[in-house]
């Protein structure tokens, strides 16, 4: 058993075992095989007396405790039979009073490196005192028997909330490790009166903190990784009595189409020793990466230590947010690029968790499809959405945070007709919201959504701010906007019930 190996040592094991390839610049390129993303239909929560009363069973698939025991026993037997195992002791949560001590045991050296990047590594002194409260048993080459072990397929991700145990098998996709611990934290922290959030966060030199909610593809990582604002983290945070803290020690960014010009900080991590690149294509001779090649999957990923970002905040903690930004990529092209939300509107958008899928993102998607994920993270919520929504509403009210909706999606018409919102315009919009330059600016009330929409933003073409004016057919816009407004309200009402 190899315990808490350094990054260079893990590289040696990975290369010796043929698990990955070193690319130009030093990152490690690996393949996740058949699973190039999470398997949400194969994730289960154990129905057991200690937690069943607080679990959101409408969203979480249940599995019997006897089947969990069978899977755990099978994984333990499988791991014990391996010639080598890799163990990582780490923390989830940068706040010393609210962190979770965890242990990951895996048969794969590259998955151990991934976990080392994504979780918070203890100091030498902390390692000596480390007592795991949570355990991940990770056996990607072990497959379940659905007929006898209660799973849907040979793949499984099983969480026992009371025991804080995760058992994973049948998938190489590393994101299952990260998101399983996040799910445990989403159960543990609210019980302590702390709001856990699927969001990124950064802070200005003036100490003003911003958090960014948004589903995959909305720009959460891109917009929070800003050279002018130190990064607290890109995906998972908690809001406690003394401010915001990162749950992770690293980032897990999408890399498809990444460019040095548009996203220099994230792009730089793809040339960094220690970064794990999943399913990224590289030239076998030059070892140069092709970040535009999605032949294996559009969901290519980079898992790297937060400190790989030049202006990352070392403590991974800051004060109470003054700005809450909810991101959506509206492929229907009807939402304004920026809107100020009342507390009630913020709760509606939070509960709905709207974005849109476009053609090519999933099998069978040929035109824009609205998708809703409560609290911008329904797959990771063990408890009902209203638990998290009520805690967010309380904090927005207590600390006077301004809430904004930012549409990073389409303008000038829907996907296939219009075009994606320019990233430069979106950055200018976000900066204006964060710096307070929109206070007192003239606004209009959107007739379909009821938002207050600024009529001007520094550095942004004012024509973009009124989406109806960018459409060739205003009447067609009205129909689509009214339809989306109704769908958002319905999704929020369902999630909050």
Catalytic residues: 38, 179, 198, 216, 220-221, 235, 301
HSE toward the beta carbon, residue 353, CA cutoff 13 A: 25
Residue 374 DSSP code: G
Write the CB contacts of 96 (distance below 8 Å, at least 6 apart in sequence): none
Compute CA distances 69 → 63, 64, 75, whole Å.
Answer: 10, 9, 10
- What gap in Å lies between CA 250 and CA 361, rounded to an integer? 25
Write the CB contacts of 23 (distance below 8 Å, at least 6 apart in sequence): 29, 277, 280, 282, 287, 288, 289
> What is the phi/psi pair of residue 251, to 5°?
-130, 155
Residue whose entry in the numeric block shows the structure tokens 């010009």: 261
Residue 207: Cβ within 10 Å count: 11
- What gap in Å lies between CA 330 and CA 193, rounded to an integer? 33
Measure the N-to-C terminal CA separation of the chain; round to a whole number of Å. 48
- What gap in Å lies between CA 57 and CA 464, rounded to an integer? 42
Nearest CA-CA partner of 389 in 495, 487, 238: 495
Write the CB contacts of 147 (distance below 8 Å, at least 6 apart in sequence): none
Handedness of CA 132, 179, 241, 162 (dihedral sign): negative
Q: How many residues does the chain have?
A: 497
Compute CA distances 74 → 44, 48, 135, whole Å.
Answer: 17, 20, 16
At residue 326, the 3 state secondary structure works out as strand
Residue 463 DSSP code: G
């Amino acid at each position: 058993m190899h315990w808490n190996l350094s990054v260079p040592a893990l590289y040696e094991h990975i290369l010796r075992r043929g698990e990955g390839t070193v690319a130009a610049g030093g990152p490690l390129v690996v393949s996740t095989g058949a699973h190039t993303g999470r398997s949400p239909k194969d994730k289960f929560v154990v129905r057991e007396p200690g937690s069943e009363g607080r679990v959101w069973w409408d969203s979480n698939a249940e599995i019997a405790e006897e089947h969990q025991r069978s899977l755990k026993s099978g994984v333990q037997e499988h791991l014990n039979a391996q010639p080598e195992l890799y163990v990582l002791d780490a923390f989830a949560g940068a706040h010393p009073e609210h962190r979770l001590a965890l242990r990951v045991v895996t048969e794969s050296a590259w998955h151990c490196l991934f976990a080392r990047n994504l979780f918070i590594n203890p100091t030498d002194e902390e390692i000596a005192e480390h007592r795991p409260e949570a355990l991940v048993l990770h056996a990607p080459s072990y497959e379940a028997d659905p007929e006898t072990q209660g799973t849907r397929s040979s793949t499984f991700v099983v969480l026992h909330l009371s025991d804080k145990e995760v058992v994973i098998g049948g998938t190489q996709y590393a994101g299952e490790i990260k998101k399983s611990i996040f799910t445990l934290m989403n159960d543990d922290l609210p019980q302590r009166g702390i709001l856990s959030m699927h969001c990124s966060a950064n802070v200005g030199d003036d100490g003003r903190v911003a958090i960014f909610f948004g589903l995959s593809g909305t720009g959460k990582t891109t917009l929070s990784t800003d050279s002018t604002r130190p990064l607290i983290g890109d995906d998972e945070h908690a809001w406690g009595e003394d401010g915001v803290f990162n749950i992770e020690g690293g980032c897990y960014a999408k890399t498809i189409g990444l460019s040095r010009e548009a996203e220099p900080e994230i792009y730089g991590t793809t040339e960094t020793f220690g970064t794990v690149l999943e399913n990224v294509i590289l030239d076998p001779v030059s070892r140069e990466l092709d970040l535009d090649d999605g032949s294996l999957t559009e969901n290519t990923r980079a898992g790297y230590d937060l400190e790989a970002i030049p202006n990352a905040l070392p403590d991974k903690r800051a004060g109470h947010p003054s700005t809450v930004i909810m991101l959506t990529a509206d492929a229907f092209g009807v939402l304004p690029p920026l809107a100020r939300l009342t507390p009630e509107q913020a709760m509606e958008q939070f509960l709905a968790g709207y974005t849109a899928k476009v053609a090519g993102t999933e099998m069978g998607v040929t035109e824009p499809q609205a998708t809703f994920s409560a609290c911008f993270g329904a797959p990771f919520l063990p408890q009902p959405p209203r638990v998290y929504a009520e805690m967010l509403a309380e904090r927005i009210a207590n600390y006077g945070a301004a809430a904004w909706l930012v549409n990073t999606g389409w303008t000038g018409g829907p996907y296939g007709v219009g075009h994606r919102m320019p990233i430069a315009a979106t950055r200018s919009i976000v900066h204006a919201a964060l710096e307070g330059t929109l206070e007192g600016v003239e606004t209009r009330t959107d007739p379909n959504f009821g938002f207050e929409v600024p009529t001007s933003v520094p550095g942004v073409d004012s024509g973009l701010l009124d989406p109806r004016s960018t459409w060739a057919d205003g009447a067609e816009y009205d129909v689509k906007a009214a339809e989306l407004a109704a769908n958002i309200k319905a999704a929020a009402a369902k999630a909050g019930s």
